[in-house]
Amino acid sequence: MQLATATHFDRQDPPIALDSRRRSPAKVQTPAPFMKWAGGKARLIPQIEPYLPQGQLRYGEAFLGGGALFFYLAGHDRLDTALLTDLSTDVHNAHTCVRDQPQALVDQLQVYEDEYLAGDADERAAYFYWMRSRHPAEVEMTVVERAARMLFLNRTCFNGLWRENSKGHFNAPHGRYPQPNIVQSARISAASQALQQAALVQADFRAWPQLAKDHGLDFVYLDPPYQPVSATSSFNAYSGGGFSARAQRELNDVLRELDAMGVRWVLSNSDCAFTRDLYQEWNIHTIYAARQVNSKADRRGDVAEVVVTNRRTGLRW
Ligand SMILES: C[S@@+](CC[C@H](N)C(=O)[O-])C[C@H]1O[C@@H](n2cnc3c(N)ncnc32)[C@H](O)[C@@H]1O
């Protein structure tokens, strides 16, 4: 497997309009995440945007996930350059494949879609659980097959949530959607074009001060797994291993280092006593996310989150 070695020089497909056998030519689309991601920020961007610096950015994103803010900024021509990192091999591999081998990925997804949709409800469920059981650490697969597996599972699992157990095995159940759109070639094409300007690195957040320096970045967005607001609401198992209170404190040390380097940053997290205390030296703003299980239009159904920045006198914003 060549996971960690994929670079700009490994590109095999030009980022042009892709097509799948069963659909008409791909339409030009605004770049957007190509995966539905637990904790994805797409719907919160209007509330985060006012806290971002103005102008063109030498941009970094330390917890990429679905990359909602990166795709938004790319779609608004706000980026001079970008460095996108995540600890997850699957997240890194999927973005690298979308950037470098979009047509091969679409072709592989088409195979999975054809096989899946050909079955009745029980056969589809069996196909999903067979695909889920093929863990990349245990079954040999190409980087394209690995990315296609991730997207297939993401598009057919319950609620589209990518969740892993403590062994790092994807464990969301089957979604039983009548006609899931598994290929989504136009979305992959638009994301691929946006990603051409990005370097992708599989990295722990602790590497960020050095990465920001090496890549000459002037702004970093950090969206870690959220600190649980209570002992029972631990909703941060995106990747095996979780994200401890100690990791949140170490992340605050990274924020201090970036600040000392003059790098502007914005961070998202849950709104709770722990985060209010942890970030007391920075600017803390409150935003509201719609509760997924409760679609009340008023604020009573919403969950408070914090947007934290190091905006201060002397730092261009
Ligand atoms: C809240 S999600 C990011 C969501 C993203 N902003 C979006 O809009 O889709 C958090 C991400 O942090 C990654 N992650 C978890 N622990 C990490 C670590 N120690 N270093 C870097 N990334 C980590 C997870 O793999 C996950 O993709």
Cβ atoms 292, 46 nearer than 8 A: no
Distances from the Cα of 297 to the Cαs of 16, 36, 103, 228, in angstroms?
40, 22, 40, 24
Instruction: Encode pLDDT of 183-223 as tens digits.
Output: 999 999 999 999 999 999 999 999 999 999 999 999 999 99
Confidence of residue 231 (pLDDT cuts 50, 70, 90): low
Report which ligand 1 atom has the smallest distance to the Cα of 239.
Answer: 25
What would the 3-class secondary structure string for 7-39 be?
A: CHHHCCCCCCCCCCCCCCCCCCCCCCCCCCCCC
Domain boundaries, the chain: 38-87+203-317, 89-171+180-196
Q: At what angle do helices 102-117 and 185-195 cross, to 10 degrees?
A: 160
**Is the CB of residue 205 below 6 angstroms from any atom belonging to ligand 1?**
yes
Interatomic CA distance for residues 159 and 24, integer angstroms:
27
Interatomic CA distance for residues 315 and 278, integer angstroms:
22
Question: Based on the number of CB atoms within 10 Å of its own CB, is 303 exposed (0-12), middle (13-18) or buried (19 or more)?
Answer: middle
Instruction: Encode pLDDT of 91-124 as tens digits.
Output: 999 999 999 999 999 999 999 999 999 999 999 9
Interatomic CA distance for residues 102 and 13, integer angstroms:
7
Interatomic CA distance for residues 86 and 66, integer angstroms:
10
Q: Output the CA 15–ligand 1 centroid distance in Å.
A: 26
Tokens of 299: 């604020």
Same fold, 38-87+203-317 and 89-171+180-196: no
Place of tokens 């992340």: 251
Interatomic CA distance for residues 27 and 34, integer angstroms:
15
Residue type, 218: D
**Is the CB of residue 86 below 6 angstroms from any atom belonging to ligand 1?**
yes
Interatomic CA distance for residues 285 and 307, integer angstroms:
5
**Is the CB of residue 91 below 6 angstroms from any atom belonging to ligand 1?**
yes
Q: Quickly name the fold that domain 89-171+180-196 has.
A: Adenine-specific Methyltransferase; domain 2 (1.10.1020)
Q: Output the CA 223–ligand 1 centroid distance in Å.
A: 6
Q: Quickly name the fold that domain 38-87+203-317 has.
A: Rossmann fold (3.40.50)
Confidence of residue 19 (pLDDT cuts 50, 70, 90): low
Q: At what angle do helices 102-117 and 143-156 cross, to 10 degrees?
A: 50
**Is the CB of residue 223 below 6 angstroms from any atom belonging to ligand 1?**
yes
Interatomic CA distance for residues 70 and 227, integer angstroms:
22
Q: Among the ranges 14-23, 238-247, 306-315, which has the highest mean pLDDT value? A: 306-315
pLDDT number for residue 83: 98
Cβ atoms 122, 101 nearer than 8 A: no
pTM of the model: 0.89
Place of tokens 């700009």: 8
Interatomic CA distance for residues 208 and 210, integer angstroms:
5
pLDDT number for residue 8: 34
Q: Output the CA 243–ligand 1 centroid distance in Å.
A: 10
List residues bridging with 290 in a β-sheet: 302
Q: Output the CA 208–ligand 1 centroid distance in Å.
A: 13
Confidence of residue 255 (pLDDT cuts 50, 70, 90): very high
The gap from C-alpha 204 to its chain's centroid, in whole angstroms, comes to: 14
pLDDT number for residue 230: 73
